[in-house]
Chain A
Amino acid sequence: MDAQLKKGLLDVCVLSVLRREDTYGYKITQEITELLDTSESALYPVLRRLESQGLLDTYSREYSGRLRKYYRITGAGISRLRESMKELSDLKRVIDYIMDGDTDG
């Protein structure tokens, strides 16, 4: 996939992972790398940015004798995700059209 397109989708993917449940860095990376073939070190800056933009926040929870940092989506994050989904559904129409043309032709 195109690198620029991937970077644009990374934010949305992270937010949508978190909308399902609060989770931690390794788990998010696993989910995302399954979807997008991206470097495993690319995720920390994204998480940090989303946090500083107030789209997600963090809390620590104990797990097998150590603290683990969990990420949680905020209200602003959810509304940002909705906006992105609206944009993407417009894009989907275009993609569907292109795909239809391919199968018909």
Chain B
Amino acid sequence: MDERILIFLEALKRELKGLPEKEIQDAVGYYSEYLTDSLEEGEDLDRLLEELGPVKQIALSVKAETDFNETEKNPRLSTFSRIFKNSLKSIKNPFAYLFIPLFLLIVYTVALCFYGMVFVCGLAAVLSFLGLVYEALKIPGKFALEIAGTLGMALFAAGLFGLCAYGFYRLAGWFIRFSSRLIRFIRRKNSGIYRVKIEAEEKKAAAKRKWRLKLCYLFIILGLVLFGFSGLPLRLFGIFNSQIPENIIEHTHRYPVTGVSEIAIYTEHSRVRMITGDITSIVFSYGQSEWLAYDLSQEGGVIKFRERSNGRLPLFPLVSLHESLTELVVTIPEGFTAERIDLQSKGGHFSLQGTGKNLHAKTLNGNIDFLGKNHLSSINLQAQTKRGSILIDDLPVGSEYPGGIRYERKTGSGNIVDLITTGGIIRIY
């Protein structure tokens, strides 16, 4: 082959760097063949090379064409950037320069928003799926229907979010493709913003699309079926619509007072009522609802009561219905003094009666009623609420502090009463 041809082809190869190898080979092959053929036809090589123009220009038009075609098949922001960069080089109209930054900004912003949504939806699909599967695994084996229903919810959520992610992915693709066609249209490289549909290629792309879509649909349908047939929707609907929890089982436990120094109580939803009675032992009366369980034990001098979810209700921490509608009543013999009584609850009200010595009560959403006004002179009281108020005989007391309202009353006595609530009202009678 003539040396001038080789030099020309080498230069072209260099200029085309960055394109897929196949594209480079195709272009170099074409020009190699073209020059060989024309030499055979007896043309003058120098005239021919001059006619072809600068290698840079040839490479630029090949690159632009490749990028346009690539964007049609597989729209990506990076390819679009290249199209944009290459198009800039051929723009001669100074007015276009005013329009260019705006156009670029719009395309990038919109495309990145779409990709952002793809990421968010994808993340939501994965997280909701894993979260709900984790919830399902926590449900005790005997509630098989609830497990199936929760798994159904997991599939449904993953499918739905997956579908959203896929939708945004497609939108981003369409948008980039449209933008690239717009540039192509402006450059008049093609006769319009349309494209001839290639049947075989369309079919291939559609098939590729289909399995992703099918997977999403499969998840959604399978999830809905599982969820529906498990009866969980009816159960959840029933729970959320009933004002009062049903099927409450009453439990009563008695503990002799001797040796008891501490009582620690934690409830999720149940309210706690402490009263004094003319009895000799400490009595726990608990009304257990369908989705709550409890542990009650005595270790050394400490009696512990702990209410917890029985695992039957998925996403239990998010369920705040029926708060304070079930009750734990603790009856303490008159005259009994514990070294410490700890009450904690997430959603329950407290109703505290009696001397109330060394009492620490803390609830998140509940109110605290403390029937101990007569004893106020003999206890160190500290009450605070974040969003509620503090009332003594229905009259507001306390002072504001950065975290809400606080009321303190120090007497120097060793009896401490701490009443803390985040969202509730503290009433002292």
Binding site for B on A (CB under 8 A): 4, 7-8, 11, 24-27, 29, 39-42, 44-45, 47-49, 52-55, 64, 66, 68-69, 76, 80
A54's contact among B27, B36, B200, by CB below 8 Å, is which?
B200
Instruction: Give the contacting residue for B53; candidates A4, A41, A64; CB below 8 A.
Output: A41
Q: Which of B58, B73, B188, B200 contacts A41 (CB 8 A)?
A: B58
Minimum distance in angstroms from B48 CB to a CB of chain A: 8
Q: A45-B64, A52-B69 are in contact. Are A29 and B198 (CB under 8 A)?
A: no
The reply to whether B62 and A80 contact each other, CB–CB distance below 8 Å, is no
A53 to B199, CA, bound (A): 10
Q: In the complex, which residues of chain B have a beta carbon less than 8 angstroms from the beta carbon of A41?
A: 52-53, 57-58, 61
Closest to A5 in B: B188
Residues of B within 8 A of A80 (CB): 196
Instruction: Please list 24 pairs of residues, one from A and one from B, whose beta carbons are closer than 8 Å in the complex, sorted by A's number.
Output: A7-B188, A8-B188, A8-B191, A11-B191, A25-B34, A26-B33, A27-B37, A29-B34, A40-B48, A41-B53, A42-B61, A44-B27, A44-B31, A44-B62, A45-B65, A48-B26, A48-B65, A49-B65, A49-B68, A49-B190, A54-B201, A55-B196, A64-B40, A68-B37
Contacts of B69 in A (CB 8 A): 48-49, 52
Which residues of B pack against A, CB within 8 Å?
Answer: 26-27, 29-31, 33-34, 36-38, 40-41, 48, 51-53, 57-58, 61-62, 64-66, 68-69, 72-73, 188-191, 195-196, 198-201
A76 touches B199 (CB 8 A): yes
- Taking a contact as CB atoms under 8 Å apart, the answer to whether B198 and A53 are in contact is yes
- The CA-CA distance from A26 to B61 in the complex, in Å, is 18
When distances are taken between beta carbons in the complex, the residues of chain B under 8 Å from A26 are: 33-34, 37-38, 41
- Residue among A4, A8, A48, A69 facing the most chain B CB atoms (10 A cut-off): A48
Q: Are B30 and A69 in contact (CB under 8 A)?
A: yes
Question: Within 8 Å CB of B201, what residues of A?
Answer: 54
Q: B198 contacts which of A25, A69, A76 (Cβ < 8 Å)?
A: A76
Question: Which of these, A7, A8, A40, A52, contacts B52 with CB under 8 Å?
Answer: A40
Which residues of chain B are near A64, meaning CB under 8 Å? 40
B31 touches A53 (CB 8 A): no
Name which of A11, A53, A55, A76 has the most chain B CB atoms within 10 A of its CB: A53
Additional A-B contacts beyond A8-B191, A41-B58, A48-B26 (17; CB < 8 A)? A4-B188, A26-B38, A29-B34, A39-B51, A40-B51, A41-B53, A41-B61, A44-B58, A45-B61, A48-B65, A49-B69, A52-B73, A53-B196, A54-B199, A54-B200, A69-B29, A76-B199
Cα-based distance from A45 to B63 in the complex (angstroms): 9
Q: List the A residue with the shortest CB-CB distance to B57.
A: A41
Which B residue sits closest to A74, measured CB to CB?
B198
A72 to B24, CA, bound (A): 21
What B residues does A27 contact at CB under 8 A? 37
Smallest CB separation, A5 vs chain B (Å): 10
Contacts of A66 in B (CB 8 A): 36
Bound-state CA distance A26–B29 (Å) is 12
